[in-house]
Amino acid sequence: MKQILILLIISLSQVVLAQSPGKIVFDTLLNKPILTWENGDRYIGTFTKLPTTPGYDSTAIPEGYGTFKSINGGDYSGYFKDGKKSGDGNLTYRNGSKYDGEFSNNQAHGKGVYTSEKEDVYTVNWADGKKVGEGSIHYKDDSIFLGTFKEDKRWGNGTITYSNGDDFKGNFENDFEQGQGVYTSKDGSKYVGDWRAGKQNGEGVKTYINGDTYTGKWLEGKRSGLGTLTTFDGTVYVGLWEYDLKHGKGTQKWKNGNRFEGEFKNGFQEGDGTLFYASGVKYEGEWKNGMQHGNGVLKYTNGDEYIGEFKEDKKSGQGTITYHNGQKYVGEWKNDLQDGQGIYTWTDGEKYVGSYKSGVRSGQGTHYFKNKTRYEGAWNDNLPNGKGSMIYPSGKSYTKEWKNGRVVDSKKKKKKD
């Protein structure tokens, strides 16, 4: 949100007449007496009693219209009463700021317009040198404030219309948005809720231009604490926020029926959490950057269960899958497939121990048959391929070349050669 310009707190009584008696000097060109002081201040105008004799004169008190120039910076042209600025006047400061309006007892009092050195224009009522009541500020960038003032600051109900088209309507306190307020952006997004020190703080609702809606806690202008985000596509998150991001315990539901319960960090699922798929599949375990990553358990609706390591939403590393029919694989995984060394067992007692590639037996491995016979050798595409030995329970064995699970006929091979 655009930050409100901090108003310059001024004291319109800083240009005052010196308290010590001034010295009267007659200006022959103007044919008027001039009241001067040792510090260099000077006054030209009317007096309660017209001085006729040059020199120090404590009875020479400005009264009526006159001009006062201060060596400390600041020129005043206007009316005086009993030596003090009273009535209509114009005060210009050394830094370029100026006030044009009513004075009383050396201070801005009544209606007046103050222009700061930043060229911000304040049109407001004044009391004892401070802004009070209804008024306006026209900032240099063409942003406009309309509202009430108290103790020289924006205080009470007010409206700010920014030069970029945004606007704020609500309560001010001590020069900042404070309490209830509505901020509407030019693009259509809108915040309704609590403010503190010029920022969204407390409970609030924000609707975004894409249709998202957030309802919950805010801190320093950001979503922080417990809140609910409902997105345009039907996704709903209920949980903790920090610095505008999902952070801490939370639950997220998607339109497709999936639901996550667990920990978030910097906007993503991270830490421990459980994902309930609409299909009935369930993952429970570790997460990182919004993906299943680390150790976890994946349970399928048909009864299959995987326990092991995950990487970026896929089974990768060491893991065990137990199928609903009793078969089991223990070993290495990559990209959701058996890959590396592993052991596969069947319910009838058969077992394979060896290498896998992309989900199939590939490389060197041993298959143990239920009749105690075993094959040791090369595999490819889940079948013996290459050189391998068949070993029988009696101890007899033979070593042959294999292709797609069959012994290559040496005679046919010779004829082909």
Residue 13 confidence class, pLDDT cut points 50, 70, 90: very low
**Per-residue pLDDT, 54:** 63
What does the block give as tokens for 349?
A: 């007692």
CA angle 183, 223, 212 (to 5 degrees): 70
Task: Identify the burial level of 343 via C-beta atoms within 10 angstroms of its C-beta, where 0-12 means exposed, 13-18 middle and 19 or more buried.
Answer: middle
Contacts of 218 (CB under 8 A, 6+ apart): 193, 194, 199, 200, 201, 202, 203, 204, 224, 225
Distance, CA of 200 to chain centre: 11
For tokens 């609910």, name the residue: 228
Taking 70 as the threshold, does the pLDDT of residue 120 lie above it? yes
- Determine the Cα–Cα distance for residues 357 and 339; give it in Å rounded to an integer: 5
Tens digits of residue pLDDT in 197-238: 999 999 999 999 999 999 999 999 999 999 999 999 999 999
User: CA distances (Å), 123 to each of 14, 33, 102, 128, 173, in order?
Assistant: 20, 36, 12, 16, 19
Residue 49 confidence class, pLDDT cut points 50, 70, 90: confident
Tens digits of residue pLDDT in 300-354: 999 999 999 999 999 999 999 999 999 999 999 999 999 999 999 999 999 999 9
Tens digits of residue pLDDT in 140-175: 999 999 999 999 999 999 999 999 999 999 999 999
**Of all helices (H) and strands (E), which one includes residue 356?**
strand 351-357
Pairing of the two strands 153-161 and 167-173: antiparallel
Question: What is the set of domains in the chain, with CATH numbers?
Answer: 325-417 (2.20.110.10)
pTM: 0.81
Higher-pLDDT residue of 9 and 294 is: 294
- Determine the Cα–Cα distance for residues 270 and 266; give it in Å rounded to an integer: 9
- Amino acid letter for position 370: K
27, 35 contact by CB (below 8 A): no
